Amino acid sequence: MKTSYRFAICVFSPLLLASIALGQQDYVGRYDVYTGYMYLNSPGLSLGENGFHTQIGMNPTKWYSMGFDFSAGAGDTSLTTGMMKSSVQQQISQQLAAFGLTLAAVNPVPEHSRSQTYATGPQFNYRHFKAITLFVHPDVGAIHETAIPNAAGLNLIDQMLIAQLAPSGTKQEWTCFYGVGGGIDFNVTRHVSLKVHADFVHDHLFSDLVNARNSVRLSVGPVFHMGKNVAEQK
């Protein structure tokens, strides 16, 4: 989480200077298109995934927008028995007892993970400052993850465990997530901004194996504003 905290401090520290950016924004495009770098951190699994994040939004008014959100990333971790649900640990312990072994005999299993998130919904924008736009939104959507364990170089006990947990060689699942997100758009020109964005979400992927987890998604990239000026609407 230390990386996430440092990122968040760098992202939100410009708020301290917001008082010098007073003034109404005279252009708010009907449509926004965003794409940028994304980092998804799931500290409970020691998993960090790098990838991209994109959004398409429509602004019916200055303060309210609707849109679609997608992100995809990949990263590596090692699955340990300590990350597993207590019921799974007990089951594995019973199986190992037949060989006179304990959980300590199980080595960390290297794993490659690929994740995609999908969400749609409202966003609430605060445009009191000319140079920046502040925004916040609920996070409700679906996440798909593929976990690919790597059994190369592991002993027979570890290979048997992997075969039991992921018989096909991979483990995939869809589930819902919820949380809250927000950030800042730095308005470079009328039609281009730099977005810095953070989401804090909760999900329970692979609920048969591991505990529920909290994740932080951080992203940064350009936003392009286009279309009719909704700031002129009465």
Burial label for 173, CB within 10 Å (0-12, 13-18, 19+), is middle
Q: Going residue by residue through the chain (234 aa), what tens digit of pLDDT does each one get?
A: 455 545 555 544 544 444 444 567 889 999 999 999 999 999 999 999 999 999 999 999 999 999 999 999 999 999 888 888 888 888 888 888 888 888 887 888 899 999 999 999 999 999 999 999 999 999 999 999 999 998 787 787 788 888 888 888 899 999 999 999 999 999 999 999 999 999 999 999 999 889 899 999 999 999 999 999 998 876
Q: How many Å apart are CA 139 and CA 122, to the nearest integer? A: 9
CA 12/CA 1 separation, integer angstroms: 16
Q: How far apart are CA 45 and CA 52, in angstroms?
A: 21
Query: d(Cα 177, Cα 85) in Å, to the nearest integer?
Result: 19
Instruction: For the chain, give every domain's residue range.
Output: 2-12+22-226
In this structure, what token pair is assigned to residue 71? 């992100």
Note the Cα 85 to chain centre separation in Å.
22
Closest CA to 216 of 73, 76, 56: 73
- At 16 the pLDDT is 43
Cβ(202)–Cβ(191) under 8 Å?
no
Q: How far apart are CA 168 and CA 89, in angstroms?
A: 21
Those residues with Cβ within 8 angstroms of residue 143's Cβ, 6 or more apart along the chain or in another chain: 115, 116, 117, 118, 174, 175, 176, 177, 203, 205
Instruction: Note the CATH architecture for domain 2-12+22-226.
Output: Beta Barrel (2.40)
Residue 24 near residue 199, CB atoms below 8 Å: no
- Residues contacting residue 18 through CB under 8 Å, at least 6 positions apart: 129, 132
Q: For residue 178, what are the contacts with CB-CB under 8 A and spacing of at least 6?
A: 138, 139, 140, 201, 202, 203
Please give the pLDDT value at position 3: 54
